[in-house]
């Protein structure tokens, strides 16, 4: 198949990583993949590094008609069988391009769990018959698509995946040295770019409670814009909480960690959580979105209510007090992620989904 991956994304993100992994996997299976992205996007270098053809398309906003027109010409030039929009603006522009020119299969991945707006333009964007199918990255995302009357048979759940990680204790010690953390104290880590729905403030308030019972504990918060939390950390006198900002060396952070925490208020999938679980770390998450698809409470990790620093602190304290229990659940969690959230099964599902959509498209065009 000739497949085009369309994305307006500029900066590296979890969604960008998923796009690249899937493109690489499908290329290895003999399909022709082309990335259609913006100049200066981080995806340009990532694609070229893997030998993927990259075509540049400026996408200024949703319903950018000139961009859609250029895209329709590009689809014809490349002879694409499948155009797959990976993000929201790409979804809107691809939809207009499908009106300008026939695209055998146009499909869309939804990576967020925000409720879909119910205004006329939003409904037209989602229920258009020009969209052959949707990829939802979790069951929770699928539920949001169903709420706007998208037929179940048009939705395929293909989860965000992770690669197996082998943690290097030496690199973990280097990270501890970087932040002045003693080698023999517990470290609780959170990895998420700062936003209102990731629960950073709840993690920090929970840390303030944990430190009263376990004063030797340290905490790492990594992610873009996490320096915005510095005033809050100072006000709570949390000298043992380290704001690591944006990092490209997450495996090294995990190697320095004792427990991983995802305190999100909303979460479509929780890829960083799955990375921690497949690494063998004990994990604590909130009972929202796609997180319970990874953590089965009391079996593969611990779940707590979202927005509840006290409950979060109690879960942290439980595992600091009972490390053997934490390690037993971590082992189960690792096995669960290996069985359900790795690339090759996901690539098979994606390939089959494309083939099914192409078959249906061919029949309907006769």
Contact 75, 4 (CB under 8 A): yes
Using CA atoms, how far apart are residues 234 and 230, in angstroms rounded to an integer?
6
Q: Which of 159-179 are b and which e, b meaning 16 or more Cβ less than 10 Å from the residue's Cβ?
A: bbbbeebebeeebbeebbeeb
Q: Give me the chain's average pLDDT, please.
A: 93
Which H/E stretch holds residue 133?
A: strand 133-136
Contact 274, 268 (CB under 8 A): no
pLDDT at 125: 85
Q: Which fold has domain 169-340?
A: Rossmann fold (3.40.50)
pLDDT > 70 fraction of the chain, expressed in percent and rounded: 99
56: closest CA among 4, 19, 1, 92? Answer: 4
Give yes or no on whether 2-161+342-364 and 169-340 have one common fold: yes
5 bridge partner residues: 35, 84
Q: Which fold has domain 2-161+342-364?
A: Rossmann fold (3.40.50)
pLDDT at 318: 97
In the chain, how many H helices and how many E strands?
A: 15, 13
Q: Which residues of the chain have pLDDT under 70?
A: 362-366
Contact 333, 283 (CB under 8 A): yes
pLDDT at 366: 47
Domain residue limits, the chain = 2-161+342-364, 169-340
Tell me whether strands 259-262 and 187-191 are parallel, antiparallel or unpaired.
parallel
Kindly state the tokens that stand for 320.
Answer: 């600091």
């Amino acid at each position: 198949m000739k497949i085009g991956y369309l994305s307006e994304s500029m900066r590296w993100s979890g969604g960008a990583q998923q796009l690249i992994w899937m493109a690489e996997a499908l290329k290895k299976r003999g399909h022709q993949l082309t990335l259609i992205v913006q100049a200066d996007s981080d995806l340009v270098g990532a694609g070229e590094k893997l030998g993927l053809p990259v075509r540049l398309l400026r996408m200024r906003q949703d319903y950018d008609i000139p961009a859609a027109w250029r895209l329709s010409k590009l689809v014809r030039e490349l002879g694409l069988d499948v155009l797959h929009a990976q993000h929201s603006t790409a979804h809107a522009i691809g939809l207009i391009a499908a009106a300008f020119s026939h695209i055998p299969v146009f499909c869309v991945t939804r990576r967020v769990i925000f409720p879909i707006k119910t205004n006329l333009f939003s409904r037209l964007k989602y229920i258009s018959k020009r969209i052959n199918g949707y990829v939802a990255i979790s069951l929770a995302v699928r539920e949001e698509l169903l709420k706007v009357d998208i037929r179940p048979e048009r939705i395929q759940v293909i989860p965000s995946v992770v690669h197996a990680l082998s943690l290097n204790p030496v690199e973990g010690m280097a990270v501890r040295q970087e932040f002045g953390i003693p080698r023999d104290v517990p470290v609780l880590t959170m990895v998420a770019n700062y936003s209102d729905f990731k629960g950073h403030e709840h993690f920090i308030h929970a840390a303030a409670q944990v430190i009263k019972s376990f004063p030797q504990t340290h905490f790492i918060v990594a992610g873009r814009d996490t320096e915005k939390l510095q005033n809050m950390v100072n006000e709570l006198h949390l000298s043992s909480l380290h704001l690591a900002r944006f990092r490209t060396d997450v495996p090294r952070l995990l190697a320095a960690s004792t427990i991983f925490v995802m305190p999100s208020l909303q979460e479509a999938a929780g890829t960083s959580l799955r990375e921690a679980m497949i690494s063998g770390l004990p994990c604590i998450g909130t009972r929202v979105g796609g997180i319970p698809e990874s953590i089965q409470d009391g079996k593969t990790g611990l779940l707590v209510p979202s927005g509840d620093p006290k409950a979060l602190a109690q879960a942290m304290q439980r595992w600091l007090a009972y490390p053997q229990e934490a390690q037993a659940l971590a082992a189960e969690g690792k096995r669960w992620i290996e069985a359900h959230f790795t690339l090759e099964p996901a690539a098979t599902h994606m390939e089959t989904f494309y083939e099914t959509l192409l078959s249906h498209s061919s029949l309907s065009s006769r």
